[in-house]
Amino acid sequence: MDEKILSKFFDRDDGHKLEVYEDHGGYDAARKAAEMSREEIVNEVKASNLRGRGGAGFPAGVKWSFIPQETEEDKYLVVNADEGEPGTFKDRQIMQRDPHQLIEGCIITAMALDLRYCYIYIRGELKFTEDIIQDAIEECYDKGYLGEDIFGTDQDLDIYTHISAGAYICGEETGMIEGLEGKPGKPRIKPPFPAIVGVFDAPTLVNNVESIACVPPVINRGAEWFANLGVEKNGGPKLYGLSGPIKNPGVYEAPSGITVRELLESPEYGGGMKEGKELKAYIPGGSSCAVLTPDELDREMSFEAMREVGSNLGTGCVTFVDQDTCMVRLAARLAHFYHHESCGQCTPCRDGTGWSAKVLDAIEAGRGRHEDLDLLEDMTGQIEHSTICALGPSLTFVVHSYLDKFPEEFEAHIEQGECPFPSWSLDDTKPAAAE
């Protein structure tokens, strides 16, 4: 993509400063929004086809319209900056390099929905981004962009950073609300949805960092322009984080709907697999998405295209897997992740993820039985639809898709009584499967 919309400051070290942001038209969108009615702003975001960029892909404008208009109580915006989905590392770039685009997005969102307070919920590990965002917030207060009657409207808005302390589950919006209230991040039963009963029992909009950062360009240049940068139902440019054994891992801006092949192979993006590495699989949008194989490389990076093959666009951060990687071990590693991060309140998740990890470990160690494959499928199948949130079911997608796409690898472990792949250890002596 020639013009960068979301990543224009990613290769500069001063893009976080207000002066630089304003030199590039910063806060023009907020001025424009100040002249628009609330309804006009919401309709613009709806028409832009902006989809939630945190993984679920819910249409942003529709989510906004759930916030009640006529209410006396203060309403809240919570920005999900708890980026932690394995394989995902895009929001951090906005927080570090372009905090003003995030803040301007918060301002416009607040104007649209009459949101009085905003908390940016930052994962504890990314504490170093808090200082950058906090400095940007202070620059805005000094300019009168935050506080009372912002941009000549009767809207008041205060933005605060909130630092968390290490819990993947706080990325789930109701887990996040619990964390923001000072409690363990155990997701809430819905309904009521946060739009009605959110943080401090008030109507609350929770949106991902990248989603909010898309709002200023939508308002500045119009919904139609934004929608046309993407494909049907998936508007705008998108940040893609590419990782795994590829030549150029990193975060790239490209149109919504670009093919995975272009992201992987184009010298502008991933640059292809590393020398000597052959692509075996890819996971399109963070570890919770079902795994896909190279015959799906020409698939579009859109929510619809990925759902057609039983996966998900998720966060749009693609992890590429090479031929030397053991899929059983990768599934086992992810089972440990979900078990570790389970908040523990739903038994199928708390116990199911743990038992899945044990069975997968046994297979990986060469102690698996043929009946374990059915057991795994059945056990992880019981997690889906029986938990409050989507954490446990994520492991269902992982295990079911790895079993479905790579049954021969599971069988080989059981038949050979050992893992046929090189280990992840320094003193590896096992031959690669390809040899």
Binding string, 118-137, against other proteins, x = CB under 8 A?
-----xxxxxx---------
The reply on whether position 141 binds other proteins by CB under 8 A is: no
CB of 281 to other proteins, least distance (A): 11
Residue 425 or 429: the one with the smaller Cβ distance to other proteins is 425
Residue 316's alpha-carbon distances to 14, 133, 178, 243, 353, in angstroms, are 26, 24, 26, 11, 25
Q: How far apart are CA 173 and CA 176, in angstroms?
A: 5
Helix axes 347-364, 371-381, angle to 10 degrees: 160
How far apart are alpha carbons 431 and 435 in whole angstroms?
7
Q: Which is nearer to other proteins, 317 or 359 (CB)?
A: 317
> Of 144 and 344, which has the nearer Cβ to other proteins?
344
For 164-221, what is the HEC assignment? CCCCHHHHCHHHHHHHHCCCCCCCCCCCCCCCCCCHHHCCEEEEEHHHHHCHHHHHHH
> From the CB of 180, what's the least distance to other proteins, in Å?
6
* Cα–Cα distance, 296 to 282 (Å, whole number): 9
Tell me the CA distances in angstroms from 326 to 86, 246, 331, 394, 432, one per residue in order: 17, 17, 9, 20, 10
Binding status of residue 85 toward other proteins by CB under 8 A: yes
User: By CB under 8 A, is residue 276 in contact with other proteins?
Assistant: no
Closer residue to other proteins (CB): 83 or 172 = 83
Contact between 337 and other proteins by CB under 8 A: the answer reads: yes
Among residues 163 and 365, whose Cβ is nearest to other proteins? 163
Of 334, 320, 337, 405, the C-alpha closest to 364 is 334
Question: In whole angstroms, what is the distance from residue 342 CA to residue 364 CA?
Answer: 22
Cis preceding-peptide flag for 192 (omega within 30 of 0): yes
Tell me how far apart the alpha carbons of residues 210 and 228 are, in angstroms, rounded to a whole number. 18
In the complex with other proteins, the residue whose CB is nearer, 219 or 357, is 357
Residues in contact with other proteins, shown as a per-residue x/- string from 155 to 174 under the rule CB under 8 A? -----x-xxxxxxx------
CB count in 10 Å sphere of residue 313: 29
Q: Which of 26, 87, 99, 255 binds other proteins (CB under 8 A)?
A: 87
270 near 379, Cβ under 8 Å? no
Burial (CB count within 10 angstroms: exposed 0-12, middle 13-18, buried 19+), residue 381: middle
Find the part of the chain contacting other proteins (CB under 8 A) among 64-72, 103-111, 142-150, 334-342.
334-342
75 binds other proteins (CB under 8 A): no
Residue nearer to other proteins on the CB measure, 207 or 319: 319
C-alpha–C-alpha distance, residues 365 and 402, integer Å: 17
Q: Which helix (H) or strand (E) holds 35?
A: none
Binding flag, residue 289, other proteins (CB under 8 A): no
Determine which residue in the list 321, 359, 391, 399 makes contact with other proteins, applying CB under 8 A.
321
**Which residue in 230, 241, 314, 348 binds other proteins (CB under 8 A)?**
241
Number of residues that bind other proteins (CB under 8 A): 55
Q: Which is nearer to other proteins, 214 or 327 (CB)?
A: 327
- CB-nearer residue toward other proteins: 28 or 156: 156
Determine, following the binding rule CB under 8 A, whether residue 356 of this chain makes contact with other proteins: no
Q: Which residues bind other proteins (CB under 8 A)?
A: 83-89, 91-92, 123-128, 160, 162-168, 179-185, 200, 241-245, 249-251, 287, 317, 319, 321-322, 325, 330, 333-334, 337, 340-341, 343, 424-426
